[in-house]
Structures are given as C-alpha cells and as structure tokens.
Amino acid sequence: MVDQTSFDQKNRERIQAVENSFGPSGKSLVEPGRVLVGEGRLLKLCRRRPQQKVFFLFNDILVYGSVVVLWRWHKRQQIIPLEEVEQENLEDGLGMVNQWLLRTPRKSFSVAAASPEEKRAWMDHIEECRLQRINQVGLKPEKRGGFAATWIPDQASAICMRCSERFGVTQRRHHCRRCGFVVCNSCSKGRAVLENISSKPVRICQLCLATMQGEQPDSQAKGRSWSNSHWKNDSLEDKTHAFHDDVSSDEECDEQDDSHSSNQWVSDQESSWSPYCYFNPDHAKPPELVA
C-alpha cells in the first residue's frame, strides 16, 4: 500500500518542479491540498495557427504555457480555475483533429490531442476534477453562460466579417473581443469594458458596440463616437497597435516545435485523485498499486 506521507512529499516535489519550469515570471503553484493530476502537450488553436502548449491538470486549476525546452522550461503561464471551465466536444476541422472547446469567462479556445484516446482521457479527467472542485467550493454544477467568445482564426476569413472588405498589407486583421469575429480596423474602432475579460476598454466591432448600447446598428456608419465613459472610439490608425497588444501574449507567440508528445496517466489508489502523471518520467518511480 502506498505510504501517504511519501505520496504527499513526491506530489509537492512535482508541483514545485512545474512551478520552477516557468521561472521567476510564473506564479506560485504549491498550495495545501493541491494535487498534480496529469500533464502533457496539446495543440491550442491560436489566432494565426495551432500552437503546441504544455498543460498541467491539478485538482483545482488548469495551467498551461508555451514550451521553451521540452519538459524543462516554459513561459507565458496561464492559470484557469476549474470551477470556471466548461468543455464542448468538436468535430475535426481547421487543421485540428481530436479537438474540443474549453470555455472560460476570460478566454475560450480549442485544443487538440494526438489521438482520440488522449482526447477522451483529457476531457474525462478535467470534468472529474471540475465536478469535485465545484462540490468542494459549494457551487451548482449546471451549465452557465457568461463565457468569453471563441476567436475565429485569422486564416478562416480573407475578408472582414462585418463589411466584407478584403484584408491585405494595409488592411490588418483584428478580433472583436465580444463576438470573436475577424474584422478590419474600421469595423472595430469601438472600445468597451467587458468585465469578465478586462477592466480596461477592449476592441469590439461596431455591431457589438451598437448592440451593447441598445441601439440599432448603422451599416453605413463606421467609427461612431459614444458619450458613455465606458465606451470610446479610436479614429487614428496609429492607436491600432496599442489595442492590438491587448491580445494575451500566448495568442501572438509562435512555437518552434509542432510535434505531439504523449500524455501519461498513472493510477494511484491511495490518493483520491487519479490517474496521476509525473512532471518528469525519470524523476521518481510511480507508487506501487494495491494488488
């Protein structure tokens, strides 16, 4: 039978290893009662193309980031509380097979595993941990709204999805933070505070701006000004870059390695959280299972 003290010590060491892999820019991950449930690399559909990300599933949070050195160094740490997550199965498409959707209030995005089996394992483990986390914090498990829109990838449209103007060297692609559409600068001059995404005004398209203001959209008017302090409009193109940067950094970066690596799950009957995977397969041997 597994010694609980030994398990707790090894679990803490592995969580510390994950924390250290993000360097000084990463947030602390060692918390009382937190258990590393699994880890692996998944494709994440970003605005330009699918990118490899490393994912760590804990019993209360989902952590992911960009790979610098395989299994050793990572950057751009992102932490998602599991009680905020909702999953949705997706069909294959856009160069992504074995994919599914992760919805959260701040960001929603598609991820893909290397095989159908790994996809099902990830979805099952995330859902199991999510339900236990919801029960732990006393929330109701029913599905809810208020999730961030999923961004449509750049390559999905050669024209603005509002005015149909073609994108080119002088006509850059942008994303409405409210609907996720690919739009031109003229159709996305509006700015609004979306509290679940940012405390500062973010880019939204004119249709969403008009809808949020309770007005009928004017298809002929671009760059309309609003008097409400929560809304503003940028009329100068040189302001585009400032708001273009409010995209999270992991959407903008390009990964060097696009190959899948397997995700490992090792059952441990002594812990209430299983299966389990190690940060480094050579770090320690898995606990002996009860026969």
For residue 250, what pLDDT is reported? 39
Indicate whether 212 belongs to any domain: yes
Range 136-141, long-range pairs (CB < 8 A, 24+ positions): 136/60, 137/83, 139/83
Q: 166 and 140, same structural domain?
A: no
For residue 238, what pLDDT is reported? 35
Q: 11 and 135, same structural domain?
A: yes
Per residue in 27-44, pLDDT (tens digit) is 999 999 999 999 999 999
pLDDT at 245 over 60: no
How many independent structural domains does the chain possess? 2
Q: 110 and 138, same structural domain?
A: yes
Question: Which of 146, 163, 179 represents a domain boundary (last residue)?
Answer: 146
pTM of the model: 0.71
Indicate whether 269 belongs to any domain: no
Q: 122 and 199, same structural domain?
A: no
| Torsion angles phi and psi, residue 240, rounded to 5 | -60, -45
**Separation between Cα atoms, residue 21 and residue 26, nearest integer Å:** 8
**Residue 27: Cβ-neighbour burial (10 angstroms; 0-12, 13-18, 19+):** exposed
**Residue 242: Cβ-neighbour burial (10 angstroms; 0-12, 13-18, 19+):** exposed
Higher pLDDT, 254 or 204: 204
Contact 178, 204 (CB under 8 A): yes
Higher pLDDT, 152 or 29: 29
Contact 65, 54 (CB under 8 A): yes
Q: 141 and 32, same structural domain?
A: yes
pLDDT at 236 over 70: no
Q: 52 and 123, same structural domain?
A: yes
**Which residue in this structure is represented by tokens 């732990």?**
136
Tell me the residue length of the chain.
Answer: 291
Which domain range does residue 215 map to?
A: 154-250
Q: 12 and 96, same structural domain?
A: yes
pLDDT at 215 over 80: no
Domain harbouring 216, CATH code: 3.30.40.10
